[in-house]
Amino acid sequence: MAERSTFSPHWHRVAPTKPRLRPHVQITRQRYRGRRWHVVHDPASNKFYRLNAVSHELVGLLDGVRTVEQAWNIVLDRHGDMAPTQPEVIQLISNLYNANLLSIEATPETEQLLRRQRDRLAQKVKSQALGIMYFRIKLFNPDGIISAIEPTLRPIINRWGFLAWLVFVLFTLTRLGSHSEALASGFKDAIAPSNWGWLIVVYVVAKAFHEMGHGVICKRFGGQVPEFGALLLVLVPSPYVDASACWGFASRWHRIAVGAGGMIFELFLAAIMAHVWLATPEGSLVHQLAYNAMLTAGLSTVLFNANPLMRFDGYYILSDLLEIPNMMQQSFKQLQFYMQKYVYRLEDVSPPTTKPGEAGILTVYGISALAYRIFLFITITLYVMGKLFAIGLILALWTAAAWFIMPVGKLVKWLSSGPKLADQRPRAIGVTLGLIALGAALIGLIPMPDVRRGVGVVESLERTGVYIGETGFVLDAYARPGDFLEAGQVIAVLESPQLESQIEISRAMLAEYESIEREATARSPSAVPVARERVAAATSALNFMLERADRLVIRAPHAGRYVGNDPHDMIGQMASAGEALGEVVDTENVRVAASMTQTEAAWLFDEVEKPRVAIRPVSMPGVVVRGESIRAIDAGQVYLPHASLGFAGGGTIKTARDDQTGLRTETAQFIVYVEPGENEDWAGVPGERVHLRFRLSAKPLAVQWVDRLHKLIQGRVQL
């Protein structure tokens, strides 16, 4: 641990002063992991400062009559080694003083006050400029509105209200569970471009409701809500309220309640909307809007607000649950400490916490938050670049500057002139360069597997149509789509009363002609040939009829999987001859057809060796099939092999707007065929969607990234 020195050369600056906390400042006691803390809160400026027990005692002794020196001596007598050192006291006093929580003389020092104001403004502007991914626009003070709403809700903001809410939400969930199919199909409508306008409206309303939740609960427990505004999250506006007054709450459950208030309100809205959705007829606007609300309110809270890795509701809830204030900052400090201690081997460093449990939490949290940040940065950048290339690029560069170049700059500065490094500077620089070299080698030299993804559809090489052989009513069905059939196995049986009666007639006629023939043989041989001809004609007519009757039984033409209409659905209905029922597809011989853009396909064409490919059927998670003999048709096509690959069919490829079939694409596509490997025991169902993983020849990550970026830009920018 770093040595704390008792004395400071600047002690005389504070020692004789007689400061005191400003009269309007409030102090609340909080407990974190068994330790006592005191939060100093200035409601006027909404500033907070957290003091530990001993510091609090010191600040408490400062009454405007005692000097700092006297107060410090008292604390020193009482607490010995636990007492703050002179540098620590100076830090404390100056922090409080600069947060305007402490007044030193009866008359304020106007110049310093003004300068501090300027500093704060500059700081604010700076932090806004750096964090353009989260831009805040202050709109108005919502305290009046919230104060008006809060009394009516007060009776239910308690644990019983929470329980009732919980029951209601669970009930709604179970009710929704039985409508999962309708839920899923509604999703497609919801994300259709025609719905986007409504989606945004609903989103803003839901989020306003969410923020009201924070505000009302904060008010309920005595906090002020001084600010309402819009937060531009990656340029998407989202309302916010300043409920930071809750940091001063003594009870951590109250703090958690404020943090969770937004989600509670929003999920409540989502639950109500779920019931509205269930009660309204499909196709109505209310139905659609209710679905939108359910989707935005439900999903966004779970995915977004509850996520503790960013500084949103989930983070504050988690930090209070774990009783670690300032968790994000502390955990980064913890990581920094490990770096300095174990990588740079500095001696004078101290960790933010000495409790092993807390250190563990901080470490785990720090690593996940860092990883998430990087992940988020890359995803958001790529996403925005995909939509709005130029803005995405600017955003990416800006954020990279804030998240990357600045820390790197700080590292360089620290390495070159950090006082802590005085002795180990050459070593530290060596270690850093070593790490950079290692990283560069990993990225630039060592080949890494290069994997690209695609989506394909299973196609069969042999397929025979199954048709209705004879008009009739479907009597019974023996196969469903997807069933595997042997050759000749019955798919469906029809009945045709008309045909039956015709057969009866034919039989009767045959019997008649036969009896005529017998009679002729016995009585008049000259009539025999005519009679025989008639018999022959009647026999052939009957046979024809019987053949037709045979065709009432629909059989599989060859072994294979039946796909197409379900004959069960047709029982009792009339089907006319020649009508297509479905297909029997030979599943032994299937292939996957994938459609790729020019740039995607170029990866495959560029390869010297044929890439290895893995097929993952969507319907069977976990199943991986090795693909073989990849063949690409290297000419642009404008038709997809299957509608399910296109936008209209739920796929990812843009189809032409004026196209009804959902097959014609906007841009030229390259069809790639992949056949499953010889020994693979996989019977792909034709028409089924599969994911393809092309494993290209290994190359260093840098090469891969440049290649990808190049291809991304190639597609967007006309050079």
Binding site for another protein (CB under 8 A): 4-7, 9-14, 16-17, 19, 76-77, 80-81, 83, 85, 90, 93-94, 97-98, 104-105, 109-112, 417, 419, 422-423
- State the nearest-atom distance from the C-beta of 425 to another protein, in Å: 10
- State the nearest-atom distance from the C-beta of 113 to another protein, in Å: 11
CB 499 within 8 A of CB 545: yes
Question: Which is closer to another protein, CB of 84 or CB of 686?
Answer: 84
Distance CA 249, CA 234 (A): 32
Taking residue 661's Cβ as centre, other Cβ atoms within 10 Å add up to 13
Question: Which is closer to another protein, CB of 418 or CB of 715?
Answer: 418
Question: Which is closer to another protein, CB of 78 or CB of 138?
Answer: 78
Quick one: tokens of 116? 């501090």
Spatial neighbors of 202 by CB under 8 A, at least 6 apart, are: 289, 292, 293, 296
Quick one: tokens of 378? 């890359």
- State the nearest-atom distance from the C-beta of 339 to another protein, in Å: 22
- State the nearest-atom distance from the C-beta of 355 to another protein, in Å: 21
Question: Which is closer to another protein, CB of 69 or CB of 586?
Answer: 69
Instruction: Tell me which residue has tokens 């409540």.
Output: 268
Taking residue 690's Cβ as centre, other Cβ atoms within 10 Å add up to 26
Give bridge partners of residue 460 from the DSSP assignment.
590
- Report how far apart the first and last C-alpha atoms of the chain are (Å, whole number): 58
Taking residue 595's Cβ as centre, other Cβ atoms within 10 Å add up to 25
Q: What is the 3-state secondary structure (H, E, C) of 141-165?
A: CCHHHHHHHHHHHHHHCCHHHHHHH
Question: Which is closer to another protein, CB of 11 or CB of 268?
Answer: 11
Quick one: tokens of 66? 């005692």
CB 433 within 8 A of CB 416: no
Give the side-chain half-sphere CA count within 13 A for 13.
Answer: 12
- State the nearest-atom distance from the C-beta of 301 to another protein, in Å: 40
Q: Rounded to an integer, what is the distance from CA 602 to the centroid of its chain?
A: 29
- State the nearest-atom distance from the C-beta of 395 to another protein, in Å: 22
- State the nearest-atom distance from the C-beta of 7 to another protein, in Å: 5
Report the candidate in 558, 564, 557, 555 with the shortest Cα–Cα distance to residue 687. Answer: 564
Taking residue 653's Cβ as centre, other Cβ atoms within 10 Å add up to 18
Residue-wise DSSP of 330-364: HHHHHHHHHIIIIIS--SS---S---HHHHHHHHH
Report the candidate in 22, 8, 24 with the shortest Cα–Cα distance to residue 91. Answer: 8
- State the nearest-atom distance from the C-beta of 429 to another protein, in Å: 14
- State the nearest-atom distance from the C-beta of 109 to another protein, in Å: 7
Task: Answer positive or negative: Cα dihedral of 145, 146, 150, 156.
Answer: positive
Secondary structure letter of residue 653 according to DSSP: B
Quick one: tokens of 392? 């995405």
- State the nearest-atom distance from the C-beta of 337 to another protein, in Å: 20
Question: Which is closer to another protein, CB of 9 or CB of 155?
Answer: 9
Q: Rounded to an integer, what is the distance from CA 585 to the centroid of its chain?
A: 37
